[in-house]
Amino acid sequence: MPIDDAWWKSAVVYQVYPRSFADSDGDGVGDLGGILARLDHLVGLGVDVIWLSPVYPSPQDDNGYDISDYQDIDPLFGSLADFDRLVAAVHERGMRLVMDLVVNHTSDEHPWFRESRTGTDSAKRDWYWWRPGRVDADGASVPPNNWGSFFSGSAWALDPVSGEYYLHLFSPKQADLDWENGEVRQAVYAMMRWWLDRGVDGFRMDVINLVSKDPALPDGLPYGGGPYGDGSPYYLCGPRIHEYLAEMHREVFAGRPERVLTVGEMPGVTVADARLFTDPARAEVDMVFQFEHVGLDQGRTKFDVRPMRLTDLKASLGRWQTGLADVGWNSLYWNNHDQPRVVSRFGDDGPEHRVRSAKLLATVLHLHRGTPYVYQGEELGMTNAPFASVRDIDDIEARNHYAHAVAAGEDPAEVLAGLRAMGRDNARTPMQWDASPGAGFTTGTPWLPVNPNHTTINAAAAVADPDSVYHHYRRLIALRHNEPALVHGDFTMLLPDDERVYAFTRHYRGTTLLVLANFTSEPVDVDVPKDLLDGAEPILGNGPYGEPGRLGPWEARVYRRVE
């Protein structure tokens, strides 16, 4: 298939977080049977691809991103037979299914790691990053380097049996695989082929740009005021990352009769990096998830919340649109399982403006060049949850941060405020299907409490209301499927210095789409060149169309002009 005609360019991906999507057996945890029962909701929305967060066997230390068996299904979610039924049902409905691939690390309960830690002479010792410690000035053993973990504390854990340390960039129960070892890579590729042969249509690759590390493992520059250093220069887009991804493509994807979808989650990736990763001629991945735009409202840590400036957002997204205009492809997202709800973050989740601002954010995102991703509940305008205390929070990252920050002397109330705004549990509260006590998610006790606002914000109400956020997403997805300018058109940012209005055009073969969006709760006048509006018709909006040069609060409007 010619790359310009790649099916995923006009597709929309919907992420399902299985624990929180739908529970079919009343145990309070979502499962494969629940997903199967709710597929028609996604058919009605019009999405093309379902991305399934991990359903592999796991101790669930990081909610499934700590995998103990790559080739099975955790009984919490069902069985391989249930998975096969789900894949068949997805395909019968004309959709595709993409699995989460987590191969930077495994659970410490994976058989590979268990064998690895049996001794320094284990056949799998070099499948992981085992190193002897260093000796400090007092003669005590300390980790091999000063790297800090993404989940707080040291990135090294001491194994008391062997006296050596193993690397874990995340939880101590998530041991990093050593991709320098060719046997590790071949085992991963064999597993990927096994899932593709089973009918899977591709992979979203978790933190895949972390798999290549500088074997010297040098110390990082110290973080201010703490014992740990920033090791990211030695593992973000490391020395062999392009080699590994090209090898993966040759070993796993090349020669398949129909292109599968490959998406690389890549923290810290730059536009220049992404051009290399997504250049079709290099055959590495189809698109990357970058984090630049979701870091604009963060200070020293992700929980240090700052106001987001619209000019910064435009500069960031515009830079990625321009940077990948001639080579590669963008992924477009506001939400996923690691991000707070966008209507609470960049919109206005109060009763007056929640619906309008949710529609505006959807319009702006989906009209960019790239493949849009919808996270479960985003199409309903679901909001952040009102966590009353740290005891209400389940996420390991947030709990660890709270413990370390409070121990360091930070105000517990301020730390909790940061968790409420940015914590990952905001995305993980159960899907709000209806107004019943369990929100239609479960007949039992949900593993994480449902948001109290499910009585008014839910799928049943949204589907019944033609003016809902859900139906606006449905119209946006239909527009992507039917308007070539939205898929193939070039991108031009307008009004880059305006702190209130986000405006841009998409142009392709005589058709121009003009997008205008007011990111404030007050009416604004918009200074748009007259030639862009002459002869243009409004084709999509989030409210009644007013004067062409004036937008109401949180109003978004799309015009089409055909030469």
The DSSP code for 298 is: B
Residue at 480 is within a domain: no
Q: Give dist(CA 341, CA 275) in Å, integer.
A: 29
Cβ–Cβ < 8 Å for 421, 385: no
Do 304 and 393 belong together in one domain? no
Read off the amino acid at residue 91: H
Assess whether 214 carries a catalytic annotation.
no
What value does the mean pLDDT take over residues 375-387?
Answer: 97
Q: Give dist(CA 123, CA 115) in Å, integer.
A: 8
Residue at 481 is within a domain: no
Cβ–Cβ < 8 Å for 426, 440: no
Cβ–Cβ < 8 Å for 495, 501: yes
Do 16 and 138 belong together in one domain? no
Residue at 203 is within a domain: yes
Residue 276: in which H helix or E strand, if any?
helix 271-278
Question: Torsion-angle region of residue 217: left (phi > 0), alpha (psi -120 to 50) or beta?
Answer: left
Strand 49-52 and strand 96-101: the pairing is parallel
pLDDT-derived band at 167 (thresholds 50, 70, 90) equals very high
Do 39 and 161 belong together in one domain? no
Whether 42 has a pLDDT exceeding 50, the answer reads: yes
Residue at 119 is within a domain: yes
Pick from 182-186, 215-219, 408-412: least confident: 408-412
Q: Give dist(CA 80, CA 78) in Å, integer.
A: 7
Where is the domain boundary, 132, 159, 176? 176
The residues that bridge with 49 in the sheet, in sequence order, are: 13, 96
Whether 173 has a pLDDT exceeding 90, the answer reads: yes
Q: What are the structure tokens assigned to 444, written together?
A: 């039992």
Q: Give dist(CA 380, CA 125) in Å, integer.
A: 48
Q: What local confidence, expressed as pLDDT, does residue 121 receive? A: 96
**For residue 383, how many C-alpha atoms fall within 13 Å in the half-sphere facing its CB?**
20
Residue-wise pLDDT tens digits, 248-298: 999 999 988 777 999 999 999 999 999 999 999 999 999 999 999 999 999
Number of domains in the chain: 4
Q: Give dist(CA 231, CA 238) in Å, integer.
A: 11
Do 422 and 322 belong together in one domain? no
Do 194 and 263 belong together in one domain? yes
Q: Give dist(CA 173, CA 110) in Å, integer.
A: 10
Do 314 and 441 belong together in one domain? yes
Q: Give dist(CA 451, CA 131) in Å, integer.
A: 45
Q: Which residues contact 555 (CB under 8 A, 6 or more apart)?
A: 356, 360, 516, 517, 518, 541, 542, 543, 546
Assess whether 206 carries a catalytic annotation.
yes
372, burial (CB in 10 Å: exposed 0-12, middle 13-18, buried 19+):
buried
Picking from 335, 438, 415, the residue whose alpha carbon sits closest to that of residue 383 is: 335
Strand 13-16 and strand 371-375: the pairing is parallel
In 383-466, alpha helices (H) = 396-407, 412-422, 459-464
Residue at 479 is within a domain: no
Residue found under tokens 């973080």: 223
Do 200 and 255 belong together in one domain? yes
The residues that bridge with 230 in the sheet, in sequence order, are: 221
What CATH number has the domain bearing residue 301? Answer: 3.20.20.80
Where is the domain boundary, 176, 200, 221? 176
Q: Give dist(CA 13, CA 71) in Å, integer.
A: 24
Candidate list 164, 178, 206, 378, residue with the active-site label: 206
Q: What local confidence, expressed as pLDDT, does residue 2 receive? A: 46
Residue-wise pLDDT tens digits, 462-481: 999 999 999 999 999 999 99
Q: What local confidence, expressed as pLDDT, does residue 213 receive? A: 98
Do 317 and 358 belong together in one domain? yes
Residue ranges making up the domain that contains 88: 3-106+182-385+431-474
Q: Give dist(CA 192, CA 90) in Å, integer.
A: 19
Cα radius of gyration rounded to whole Å, the chain: 24
Cβ–Cβ < 8 Å for 327, 276: no
> For residue 100, which phi and psi values (nearest 5 degrees)?
-80, 130
Q: Which residues contact 274 (CB under 8 A, 6 or more apart)?
A: 266, 288, 290, 320, 323, 324, 328
Q: Which residues contact 387 (CB under 8 A, 6 or more apart)?
A: 393, 416, 419, 420, 423, 425
Q: Give dist(CA 282, CA 276) in Å, integer.
A: 7
Do 440 and 293 belong together in one domain? yes
Residue 437: C-alpha distances to residues 20, 433, 434, 445, 462 (Å): 15, 11, 9, 10, 18
Do 328 and 436 belong together in one domain? yes
Residue at 36 is within a domain: yes
Q: Give dist(CA 218, CA 562) in Å, integer.
A: 58
What CATH number has the domain bearing residue 552? Answer: 2.60.40.1180
Whether 180 has a pLDDT exceeding 90, the answer reads: yes
Cβ–Cβ < 8 Å for 34, 20: no
Mean of per-residue pLDDT scores for the chain: 96
- Would you tell me how many other CB atoms lie within 10 Å of the CB of residue 304? 15
Do 456 and 339 belong together in one domain? yes
Q: What local confidence, expressed as pLDDT, does residue 258 receive? A: 76
Where is the domain boundary, 157, 176, 195? 176
Q: Give dist(CA 330, CA 403) in Å, integer.
A: 37
Q: What local confidence, expressed as pLDDT, does residue 4 receive? A: 61
Residue found under tokens 């492809």: 329
What CATH number has the domain bearing residue 168? Answer: 3.90.400.10
Do 165 and 29 belong together in one domain? no
Q: What local confidence, expressed as pLDDT, does residue 211 receive? A: 98
Cβ–Cβ < 8 Å for 401, 305: no
Residue at 54 is within a domain: yes
Burial profile 72-102: b = 16 or more Cβ within 10 angstroms, e = fewer: ebbebbbeeebbeebbebbeeeebbbbbbbb
Q: What local confidence, expressed as pLDDT, does residue 1 receive? A: 41
Read off the amino acid at residue 161: V
Candidate list 265, 284, 379, 555, residue with the active-site label: 265
Q: Which residues contact 184 (CB under 8 A, 6 or more apart)?
A: 127, 177, 178
* pTM, to two decimals: 0.96
pLDDT-derived band at 182 (thresholds 50, 70, 90) equals very high
Residue at 482 is within a domain: no
